[in-house]
Structure 1
Amino acid sequence: MTVRQLLAATDSAELTEWMAYERIDPFGEGRADLRAGIIASAAANHGFVQLTEPYQPSHFMPFLKREPEAPVLLDDPQKQSALILTAVFGRKV
């Protein structure tokens, strides 16, 4: 069924009911991404490596709108290198 056919067969009251229902119990791709993110974060947090901060479902939701992270730039190249090794590879220098 096309959108035009759906709108022709649905009156304003029914459409309003569906909109209210979606606010109470969301459905669609956004909700599917959240469900997948919950499963992915549970799998990522279950392991033998001790994480400093556990993964959240939002880490696995690529289309979630989020604030861009500002880069961390240090004056000392050795400290910058150590920060990168820790953040990316989990290695302590």
Structure 2
Amino acid sequence: MLTKSMAGEWGQHGVRVNAIAPGYFKTEMNAALVADEKFSSWLTGRTPMRRWGDVEELAGAAGFLASDAASFVTGQTLLVDGGITSVL
């Protein structure tokens, strides 16, 4: 909602406002969950890509949204989640 609202307000000034909605990614902060075999198995079993994301995979999404290739993209939330929200 905030992304769309800001895009509507700032678009007239040439400002693009987009968001990235990450799914489950391996990080130092959630290392205990990644290491928890039961949870990790449950998660990867529910995720269509059948794995955790690597934080480096967010860079491509951010790079696209910041690039000229997305010059007419605003007010969008890009899901980078291995497809998990498509099956919830």
Larger fraction in helix = 1
- State which structure, 1 or 2, has the greater radius of gyration over its C-alpha atoms: 1
Larger fraction in strand = 2
Scaled by the length of structure 2, what TM-score is found? Answer: 0.30
Higher relative contact order (CA 8 A, sep 6+): 2
